[in-house]
A and B are shown apart, each in its own frame.
Chain A
Amino acid sequence: MQATIGAAHEHRVQMGGLLDEVKGLKKRGARFITTTLRDQGEAFEVIHHFEVDGGVVNIHVEAPKGEPIQSITPEYPVAFIAENEARDLFQAEFKGLSLDLGGKMLKVATSPSTLLKPAEGPQPPIMRKLGPCREECPAMVNIPRYIRQVEAGQYEAAYNTIIDRAPIPAILGRVCFAPCQDGCRQVFEAKPIQIRLLKRVAADGFREQNGGLVRSVQRRPSTGKRVAVIGGGPAGVSAAYYLGMLGHAVTLHEKSGTLGGAMAWGIPKYRLPKDIMVEELSARLTEAGAEVKLNSEVTDLDQLMEEGYDAAFIATGAEKCNDLRCKGEDSEGVITFTELLTAVNIRDETPDLGRRVAVIGGGNSAMDAARTARRLGAEEVTVYYRRQEEEMPASIHELSGAIEEDINFDFLSSQIIIHPGKPLTIEFQPMVPGEPDDSGRRRPVPMEGLSHKVEVDTIVSAIGSYCVVPAGFKVDVSRHGNINVDENMKTSREGVYAGGDIAYGTSNVISSLRDGRRAASSIDKYLGGTGLDEPVPDMSEFVSRKADLDELRARDQAAIPELEAEERIKGFEEIELLLEKCTADCEAGRCWRCDWNE
């Protein structure tokens, strides 16, 4: 019904044929409705609207400015009002006007006390926001867009949207600490969108549809420049991917026998299956046309650059463990978390840690070590941390998972002496929270004279790591041992950039991916290109909120599907399962679309 009355008939005529056209309409009994004038810059477009036989006919005429427009008042005298009005407003001359009011039809006057003012520019100023989730993400992934694409079932489009800013969605969907979810506005109603799970839905969905993770994408034409990337962790692979897509020839040097860096040895297999990790990293490097050299350690940068590279990116990471700094730390049975995790994750070994294991530390690595120890058969695993539970840097997700797996916690205990032997004995000193230090947390103060002893079979130290920069790199190093970089990831050496853990200390996967992309953009500009663009709100994209908002507010948050605790500790199976399609659609539909633009 609505469509038929909207369909007007359009006629386009030249100025000379206007009167004949109008005569023809008058013979058919047309009724004059009105005239519209539109300013097109160089000319006016004049549209006369008539009603004929119950429908509307529009006659379009182009009239260059400066030439008088033929009036239709000889045929339709009532058109004089509309044409006089157009003449007054647009200063357009009409010829043949039957009643010419001489430009005086509209009275124009300005009163100083009037509240009506002509508008200047678009009113009110329009903004479109990126969305709080996107602003929290270190890599500024276009989260609202890929949530909409997952809801519509367009997994390939969602996968591409994520890769535009962070190249490894399948891995991120399993391991990212998801600061976006803390930024989601629905956290106020205690149900933020499960953005990380939706990312995995997109990646696994694409993998199934596509039969693998390799996409068919075009690189830019070759620039003839060569870039060396040192380190195959997230920062290195990210930089290699973006540089390769920009057209440069990239060679990636990785010291160990597998890609992944800290993702490979540091993240346990029950979080990130290693075959998926290698598949995705290889897929990206294949698409970028990058050459990968495994088992190729680089310590002398001058020697490397002589091989003909125009720029280099250092992303060697931080894998030297901090010392326990207590007597007896070299005893047998005291291992670092890197040794334990590397053995289990990379070499697939199952070392026997005995029945009782003590893990010292409070971060995610301590949780990983403790849960790995549990899966290796230890029955009593206790985590010792020198501050309080609320101050632990480990994520709540990991902590609750550890508690479910019967791991014990002992807070405000710091190690003093380790007595060697089988079993080992550790003496712990209880601590009391004191004044806050510069991280904002309260520095623990030892309670003198008190201590307690514990007997364990293995001690795992997981109190953080630091990086060692080889002198052969010849770059400036900070007090903490990290490479000094500016905001464009540039080091003190010309043509050499750095990013990831080695530049900022231990961080996380998504921040390292951002470093890699930023460095790729800087290197591209250094080599004469334009770099990569930063996100700005795009006013030409149409995004609207849904019609029935109360219905989607009533939906609950999707729960993370996981294996049961007793099942989990039997082996290293992946704990999290993929969301069902209908649950994923429901969860993605819950999004409030904070980047709306309608």
Chain B
Amino acid sequence: MLPEPVQLQFYVDEERIVDVLPNIGYVHRGIERAIELNDYRRNLYLCERICGICNIIHGQTYAGLIEKMTGTEVPMRARYLRTIWAEVARLQSHLLWLGLFAEAIGFESLFMKVWRDREIVLELTEATNGHRIHMGTTAIGGVIKDMDERLRERYLADMSRLEKEVNDWSHVFYKDAAFKEKTIGKGILPKADAVSLGAVGPTIRGSGIPQDIRTTGYEAYGELDFKPVTHEGCDSYSRALVRMDEVYQSIGLIRQAIKQLPEGPILVKHDRFPNGEAIHRAEQPRGEVFYYGKGDGTIHLERCRIRTPTLPNIPPLLRMLVGHEVADIPAIVHSIDPCMSCTERITQVKEAS
């Protein structure tokens, strides 16, 4: 169970939860203010470090924002490469989550096995650019590293190996009776509530609504063939299955993208400072991340607002928890995949007195 720094105050009656109040704000680091003080080129490195797990997609979204503000057209090969690496990040994040969820339910050796298989992905990342989790391959206008023949073959070989290992244990999530007992019917989020409460990501896809920002076709997703994964159960079990299916979907997307990789340059330089307002959205493993930026034609950005996916998932969480027992709390809280380091990056304006 990965502890996240969010305080949930529960009001309980015997074993039943009656009301929940969230308290967040334990890890805010002043990132939005730091973005205004840094120059726009250095912010790329800062944005990549907002979250430890979903880092490369933050970087790509920020680069996409600056590209819109400077009017740069990213070459196709770079977009495919960015897509491949975003899917690798998604794989790595979902495998992490599956392991943690298994442990929260009580399957500790499954947790170890899933994380051992995640090592295949991490070694692949390290072979790409030298860091295990953090790829650092994004630049404004493209990517900085190319994939040559040897690396592509390694990717395909590792994807096959990973698929074989995942097939070994995925039946636990799909069919195991103990797992189903603990997750079916827990944390119910009806369809109408999911929409009105503004849930994003697998939280809303587990309630049967196919909301996936990748369908808007940013980067190279417009040319890949996939459909958003949904399940109709509206409970924790569905959300777990959504993520399990997305693991297979990511493996398929990586294979498709490597096969379709076009030739061409990988980096295009922009020719002016970022100017004007722009927004960019992307699909992180936890949902929709939203970046709004305003530039004023100098080397500094005037304002940058980042809305990460866990923040809108908190109101549905509060609704989901009411009426359940205290023992179900881990299964439910974990099913929205909270990532608190993403959530807290807002300005620290109050000075200590």
Which A residues are closer than 8 A to B by beta carbons?
1-3, 5-6, 8, 10, 31-34, 36, 38, 47, 49, 54, 56, 58, 76-78, 81-82, 85, 88-91, 105-110, 116, 118-119, 121-124, 126, 539-540, 542, 544-548, 597-598
B268–A547 contact, CB under 8 A?
yes
Give the chain B neighbours of A38 by CB distance below 8 A. 294, 302-303
State A112–B349 Cα separation when bound (angstroms).
Answer: 18
The CB with the most chain B CB atoms within 10 A, among A8, A108, A109, is that of A108
Distance from A537 Cβ to chain B, minimum over Cβ atoms (Å)? 12
Q: Is B105 part of the binding interface, using a Cβ–Cβ cutoff of 8 Å? A: no
State A58–B222 Cα separation when bound (angstroms).
Answer: 24
Q: List 21 A-B contacts (CB under 8 A).
A: A1-B218, A2-B68, A5-B216, A6-B279, A31-B195, A31-B198, A32-B198, A33-B290, A33-B312, A34-B312, A49-B279, A49-B307, A56-B279, A78-B198, A85-B346, A105-B24, A106-B25, A119-B30, A539-B298, A542-B273, A548-B267
Q: Is B104 part of the binding interface, using a Cβ–Cβ cutoff of 8 Å? A: no
> Which residues 1-58 of B sit at the A interface, judged by CB distance below 8 A?
23-26, 28-30, 33-34, 37-39, 41-42
Give the chain A neighbours of B267 by CB distance below 8 A. 547-548
Q: Which residue of A lies closest to B29 (CB)?
A: A116
Give the chain A neighbours of B262 by CB distance below 8 A. none
Distance from A51 Cβ to chain B, minimum over Cβ atoms (Å)? 8
Task: Name B303's contact: one of A10, A36, A121, A539 (CB within 8 Å).
Answer: A36
B292–A49 contact, CB under 8 A?
yes
Given the interface contacts A2-B73, A121-B37, A597-B299, does A108 sit within 8 Å of B198 by beta carbon?
A: no
Q: Is B67 part of the binding interface, using a Cβ–Cβ cutoff of 8 Å? A: yes
State A122–B33 Cα separation when bound (angstroms).
Answer: 11
Give the chain B neighbours of A546 by CB distance below 8 A. 269
Task: Name B33's contact: one of A36, A49, A119, A598 (CB within 8 Å).
Answer: A119
Shortest 5 CB-CB distances between A and B: which pairs? A110-B352, A106-B25, A34-B307, A36-B305, A6-B68
Q: Is B206 part of the binding interface, using a Cβ–Cβ cutoff of 8 Å? A: no
Q: Is B281 part of the binding interface, using a Cβ–Cβ cutoff of 8 Å? A: yes
State A85–B207 Cα separation when bound (angstroms).
Answer: 28
Given the interface contacts A36-B303, A126-B299, A547-B268, does A106 sit within 8 Å of B346 by beta carbon?
A: yes
Q: Which residue of A lies closest to B46 (CB)?
A: A123
Give the chain A neighbours of B294 by CB distance below 8 A. 38
Q: Is B74 part of the binding interface, using a Cβ–Cβ cutoff of 8 Å? A: yes
Q: Is B134 part of the binding interface, using a Cβ–Cβ cutoff of 8 Å? A: no
Give the chain A neighbours of B333 by CB distance below 8 A. none
A2–B64 contact, CB under 8 A?
yes
A56–B281 contact, CB under 8 A?
yes
Give the chain A neighbours of B269 by CB distance below 8 A. 544-547, 598
Task: Name B270's contact: one of A36, A82, A107, A544 (CB within 8 Å).
Answer: A544
Give the chain A neighbours of B305 by CB distance below 8 A. 34, 36
Q: Is B350 part of the binding interface, using a Cβ–Cβ cutoff of 8 Å? A: yes
Distance from A221 Cβ to chain B, minimum over Cβ atoms (Å)? 32
A126–B268 contact, CB under 8 A?
no
A5–B37 contact, CB under 8 A?
no
State A126–B39 Cα separation when bound (angstroms).
Answer: 8
Provide the B133-151 mask, 1 if CB < 8 A to any CB of A, else 0: 0000000011000000000
Give the chain B neighbours of A118 by CB distance below 8 A. 30, 33, 348
Q: Is B265 part of the binding interface, using a Cβ–Cβ cutoff of 8 Å? A: yes
B38–A89 contact, CB under 8 A?
no
Q: Which residue of B lies closest to A80 (CB)?
A: B315
Distance from A22 Cβ to chain B, minimum over Cβ atoms (Å)? 14
Give the chain B neighbours of A89 by CB distance below 8 A. 346-347, 349
State A488–B8 Cα separation when bound (angstroms).
Answer: 72
Give the chain B neighbours of A540 by CB distance below 8 A. 297-298
B349–A78 contact, CB under 8 A?
no
Q: Is B120 part of the binding interface, using a Cβ–Cβ cutoff of 8 Å? A: no
A108–B307 contact, CB under 8 A?
no
Give the chain B neighbours of A54 by CB distance below 8 A. 216
A106–B28 contact, CB under 8 A?
yes
Provide the B115-143 mask, 1 if CB < 8 A to any CB of A, else 0: 00000000000000000000000000110
Distance from B103 Cβ to chain A, minimum over Cβ atoms (Å)? 29
B307–A33 contact, CB under 8 A?
yes
Provide the B287-315 mask, 1 if CB < 8 A to any CB of A, else 0: 01010101001111011010100011011
Give the chain A neighbours of B39 by CB distance below 8 A. 122, 126
Given contacts A106-B25, A542-B273, 10 further A-B contacts (CB under 8 A): A2-B67, A34-B307, A81-B314, A81-B315, A88-B25, A540-B298, A547-B142, A547-B269, A548-B265, A597-B299
Distance from B275 Cβ to chain A, minimum over Cβ atoms (Å)? 10
B216–A122 contact, CB under 8 A?
no
Q: Which residue of A lies closest to B69 (CB)?
A: A6
B352–A109 contact, CB under 8 A?
yes
Distance from A372 Cβ to chain B, minimum over Cβ atoms (Å)? 49
Q: Is B280 part of the binding interface, using a Cβ–Cβ cutoff of 8 Å? A: yes
Q: Is B217 part of the binding interface, using a Cβ–Cβ cutoff of 8 Å? A: yes
State A105–B216 Cα separation when bound (angstroms).
Answer: 34
A5–B270 contact, CB under 8 A?
no
Give the chain A neighbours of B298 by CB distance below 8 A. 539-540
Q: Which residue of A lies closest to B305 (CB)?
A: A36
Give the chain A neighbours of B29 by CB distance below 8 A. 116
> Which residues 255-278 of B sit at the A interface, judged by CB distance below 8 A?
265, 267-273, 277-278
State A547–B266 Cα separation when bound (angstroms).
Answer: 9
State A56–B218 Cα separation when bound (angstroms).
Answer: 14
Given the interface contacts A2-B74, A539-B298, does A36 sit within 8 Å of B352 by beta carbon?
A: no
State A31–B312 Cα separation when bound (angstroms).
Answer: 11
State A545–B140 Cα separation when bound (angstroms).
Answer: 13
Distance from A582 Cβ to chain B, minimum over Cβ atoms (Å)? 22
The CB with the most chain A CB atoms within 10 A, among B265, B278, B279, B346, is that of B279
B349–A107 contact, CB under 8 A?
no
State A88–B272 Cα separation when bound (angstroms).
Answer: 35
A34–B26 contact, CB under 8 A?
no
